[in-house]
Structure 1
Amino acid sequence: MGGRTRSGGWPARRIRFDRPGLRRAATTAAVALTLLLATAAACAEQRAAPPPSVQQRLEQSSIWGQPVLRIGVATNEPLMGEVRNGVHTGFDVEIARYLAASLGYASDKDIRFVEVHTDDRLEFLIGGKVDLVVASLSYTEERAKLIGFAGPYLVTRQSFLIPVAAESRLRTLEDFQAPGVDVCSSGSSTTESELARRGFAVKLVEDLQECVDGMLSGRFDAMSSDKTILAGFRSQHPQKLMPVDLPLGAIERICVGVPIGDTALRDVVGHFLKESYEQGRDGGTSPWLTAYNKTLGPWYEDGTEVTQPEPQDVPELVDFDDKASPR
């Protein structure tokens, strides 16, 4: 029977091997494998590459080679930034000293403390008059368009301070908003913006000491600012001034101000704030805690225990054991 094989099965089909097509497929597979291996090698190399060091970022910053570090601080805010017997002191100042020492400026001889007021802190940074600002500087989105921030190193809120004699008539937000009630605050502050938004009768001053003097003389009914600043003024007049803790404004994140284009300096400052945070997070001592207990702690939140907040957006850097001076 035609077409049958001798074994009785159907004729075997002949399969033609397209050798050029096979070569193309093999080539494509080889190229794909090469690319895959190259990608894997690149990823492995990227994973293996160590992060930059503190020293490398420091050398990329604007302070590299400077013999003196210029830090803007307040001189009129008790417990935060003030001058006593010719010496700068306060919580902000101690944080500034810690950062300066970490950056290689080990003593006050290597630091130039520059007096700044609330309304000229940004101006001093933008104009290059200071390298850092450590002066109760709250983060806001508007300010972040003009300067850089590292931190926060303290979280607080706005509040009020009043004469003890006014306790019976100033208890609620409505009491402070009543006609004839004059609330004193500083210009260009987050407190000023919040008070204006809520319709308070605000009397603006350049130096917050004027608010205190005005309350003690009967010219102002109250003052409003960060609770840290109010705690400082209360510590000077504990029998005459008292806090009124009312919800006002958003949480204030107190940060270190740096020039907006100096990301290297911001990274290094953030690194050392984070280092202090890590030292104190398990209940141990830290530069932050030492500064707080030495200055603000006994008066802030009536002595309630406060911890350092975790700094945000801190890149991983390889630290050095011996703090190298950038000079």
Structure 2
Amino acid sequence: MKLRMVTAAAAAALALSLTTACGSDGDGSSSGSDGGDKKITVGIKFDQPGLGLKTPDGKYTGFDVDVATYVAKQLGYKPADIEWKEAKSADRETLLQRGDVDFIAATYSINDERAKKVDFAGPYFLAHQDIMVRSDDNSITKPADLNNKKLCSVTGSTSAQNVKTKLAPKAQLQEYGGYSECLTGLENKVIDALTTDNVILAGYAAQPEHQGKFKLGGFKLSNENYGIGVQKGSELKAKINTALQKMVADGAWEAAVKKNFGPDFKGEPAPKVGVIVS
């Protein structure tokens, strides 16, 4: 009787350990023992039209969403398996380090400081920093004109600091929580210019409610290599790089660009994975 009790206990412990092991995929996402409820959590922006936007009806649209969905599919996840999480600029490293997300595709420019904290797959897009002003404002025609102007960008973004330290040191830097807040300030003449990547600005300017109100400066102030952020040392980096290469090769990357930015968008061709344009 005693032998049977020990055996039963051991069997129960073994069953528990197997159940626990089946509850994790080892890459930060979870699944049931039958694989039927496998999920992956992806960080995106929620307020960037054309890139990462949560619509009023709860859907997610944009180029980063399409890239992330393609990558997730190559990793074995259907669109329904994706749990989207907002990744504001200032929160991205923290989300990855805490394991709150499996990867982040959120206009996430690769730079040395960020690479100390997280790893990057890609790049998958090359953008350029630009500015946006009100359509009736002709006072800013070159970067130096931003001196003594109220310049807005978001907390955690490198864009405004880049202008202030390199191009217009007398610019009055205003940092808000999101680009939509900067846009409101620009429209209400609380600020004079909004700076971030050209593709982000183009997405906002193209929205029906904004058409005719704003214009881009046409400045190429920097090269912004968008990467997909993962935890430091994560095996996902290599897998995501393979997925991005396939996305370019099969035409899905180009289709996503045209879908989200329109056929007239004058962007750069798809960058080579692992090659950073400085």
Give the TM-score category using the shorter length: 0.7 to 0.9
Query: Which of 218, 223, 241 is the aligned partner of 1:245?
Result: 218
Distance in 1 separating the partners of 2:94 and 2:267: 35
CA distance in 2, matches of 1:187, 1:138: 14
Aligned match of 1:309: 271
Residue 171 to residue 111, structure 1, CA distance change in 2 (3 Å): same
Measure how far apart 1:261 and its partner are: 1.7
- The corresponding residue for 2:142 is 172
Match of 1:296 among 254, 261, 265: 261
Aligned to 2:5: none
1:96-111 superposed matches below 5 A: 96-107=68-79, 109-111=80-82
Q: Is the alpha carbon distance of 1:196 and 1:305 closer, same or farther for their aligned partners in structure 2, counting shifts above 3 Å?
A: closer
Q: Given that residues 248 and 254 in structure 2 are in contact (C-alpha distance below 8 angstroms), is that contact kept between their aligned partners in structure 1?
A: no
Contact 1:195/1:202 (CA < 8 Å) preserved in 2?
A: no
TM-superposed CA distance for 1:246, in Å, is 1.9
Question: Which has the larger displacement, 286-295 or 146-155?
Answer: 286-295
Give identity over the alignment, percent.
28
For 1:127, the equivalent position in structure 2 comes to 98
Alpha carbons 2:29, 2:102 under 8 Å: kept: no
Partner of residue 228, structure 1: 199
Which one of the candidate residues 151, 154, 173 is aligned to 1:183?
A: 151
Q: Which range is displaced more, 134-143 or 269-278?
A: 269-278
1:52 alignment counterpart: none
- Give 3-state SS (helix, strand or coil) of 2:254's partner: helix
Measure, in 2, the Cα distance between the counterparts of 1:196 and 1:122.
Answer: 23
- SS of 1:219 mapped into structure 2: coil
CA distance in 1, matches of 2:43, 2:202: 21
Kindly provide the CA deviation profile for residues 133-190 of structure 1, in whole angstroms up to 9, marking residues without a partner as x.
0000000011111000000100011100000111x2111122111x2x1011011112
2 CA distance for matches of 1:192 and 1:129? 28
Structure 1 residue 309 displacement after superposition: 1.2
Partner of 2:240: 269
Normalising by the residue count of structure 2, what TM-score does the alignment of the two structures yield?
Answer: 0.82
- Residue 42 of structure 2 corresponds to residue 71 of structure 1: yes
Give SS of 1:288's match: helix
The answer to whether structure 1 residue 193 and structure 2 residue 164 are counterparts is no
Amino acid at match of 1:96: A
1:143 match: secondary structure:
helix
Report the Cα offset of residue 225 of structure 1: 0.2
Query: Residues 120 and 230 of structure 2 are in contact (CA less than 8 Å); yes or no, is this contact kept in structure 1?
Result: yes
What is the TM-score when the length of structure 1 is the normalising length? 0.70
Q: Is the counterpart of residue 256 in structure 1 residue 228 in structure 2?
A: yes
Provide the rounded CA distance (Å) in 1 between the counterparts of 2:216 and 2:267: 18
Distance 1:61 1:196 in 2: 43
Q: Is the 8 A contact 1:277 1:310 kept in 2?
A: no
- CA offsets, 1:224-275, max 9 Å, x none? 0011111111112120100001242x3110010010121x210000011111
Read off the aligned partner of 1:288 and give its amino acid letter.
W
SS of aligned partner of 1:148:
strand
SS where residue 98 of structure 1 aligns?
helix
Task: Please list every run of 5 or more consecutive structure 2 residues that lacks an aligned counterpart in the other structure.
Answer: 1-23, 32-37
1:140 match: 111
Find the partner of 2:189 among 199, 215, 218.
Answer: 218
State the alpha-carbon separation in 2 of the partners of residues 169 and 144 from structure 1.
37
Cα distance in 2, alignment partners of residues 92 and 60 from structure 1: 24
In structure 1, distance between residues paired with 2:202 and 2:267: 15
**What does 1:32-51 align with in structure 2 at a 5 Å threshold?**
none
| 8 Å contact from structure 2 (residues 151, 160) kept in 1 | no
- For residues 227 and 61 of structure 1, the distance between their equivalents in structure 2, rounded to whole angstroms, comes to 37
More displaced stretch, 59-68 vs 75-84: 59-68
Q: Which amino acid aligns with 2:224?
A: E
Change (3 A) 1:116 1:297: same
Higher Cα Rg, which structure: 1
Give the whole-Å Cα distance in 2 for the aligned partners of 1:251 and 1:121.
Answer: 20
User: Which residue pairs with 2:21 in the alignment?
Assistant: none
Please state how far the C-alpha of 1:192 moved relative to its aligned partner.
Answer: 2.8
Across the aligned residues of Structure 1 and Structure 2, the Cα RMSD in angstroms comes to 1.8
Question: How many angstroms does 1:64 deviate by?
Answer: 6.8
- How many residue pairs end up in the alignment? 240
